[in-house]
């Protein structure tokens, strides 16, 4: 079963402002993510993972079929959070996907403390029917 694990970060609060972290805190955070990805790759579960550029660079593209598509920097859905990265994993069951998300959530932030990042877990469609 494939799942998408989406990592959400709150907008504009201190502990997620990576630029204000100390270098060793930043390094520990990156190391954690690299280790997690290596672990998933070695477990034969990683389908893909990417981090996303900050939302300031996001664009909305829209076309109604009449003329060139519009590219604007908004409006975005009103939310206090934004997507910072995702994993797609292929695992035996939902529990395993939740366990991976649980681990990703503990990525260290300032002072090496677990950030408790919010991870949204969604099943990727068109998998085989869930057998009971």
Partner 1 sequence: MNTTGEQLLRQLAPQVLAAVVRRYGNFGAAEDAVQEALAAAAFEWPRAGVPENPRAWLIQVAARKLTDQFRSESARRSRETKFVLTTPAEENVVPPPDEATVEQDDTLVLLFLCCHPALTRPSAIALTLRAVGGLTTAEIARAFLVPEATMAQRISRAKQSIKSSGLGFVLPPPEQRNASLSAVLHVLYLIFNEGYATSSGSTHQRLDLSSEAIRLARAAHELLPNDGEVSGLLALMLLTDARRDARSGPNGEIIPLDEQDRSLWNQTAIAEGVELVTNAMKRGTVGSYLLQAAIAAVHDEAPRVEDTDFAQIAALYEELLRISDNPMVRLNHAVAVAMVRGPAAGLALLDGLARDPRIKDHYRLAAVRAHLCERAGEIPLALSYYQAAAEKTASIPERNYLCMKIARLRDN
Which positions lie near partner 1, rule CB under 8 A?
1-2, 41-48, 90-92, 123-132
User: Among residues 25 and 45, whose Cβ is nearest to partner 1?
Assistant: 45
Other CB atoms within 10 A of residue 44 CB: 8
Tokens of 104: 């990703």
Cα distance between residue 100 and residue 6, in whole Å: 12
User: Among residues 3 and 21, whose Cβ is nearest to partner 1?
Assistant: 3
User: Among residues 57 and 131, whose Cβ is nearest to partner 1?
Assistant: 131
Taking alpha carbons only, the member of 105, 83, 82, 90 closest to residue 48 is 90
Query: Smallest distance from the beta carbon of 3 to partner 1, in angstroms?
Result: 10
């Amino acid at each position: 079963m494939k799942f998408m694990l989406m990592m959400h970060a709150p907008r504009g609060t201190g502990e997620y402002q990576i630029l204000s972290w100390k270098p060793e805190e930043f390094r520990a955070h990156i190391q954690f993510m690299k280790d997690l990805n290596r672990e998933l790759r070695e477990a034969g579960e990683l389908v893909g993972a990417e981090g996303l550029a900050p939302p300031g660079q996001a664009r909305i593209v829209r076309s109604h079929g009449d003329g060139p598509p519009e590219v604007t920097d908004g409006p975005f859905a009103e939310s206090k959070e934004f997507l910072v990265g995702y994993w797609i994993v292929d695992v035996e069951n939902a529990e395993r996907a939740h366990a991976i998300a649980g681990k990703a959530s503990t990525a260290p932030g300032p002072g090496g403390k677990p950030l408790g990042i919010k991870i949204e877990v969604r099943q990727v469609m068109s998998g085989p029917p869930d057998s009971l």
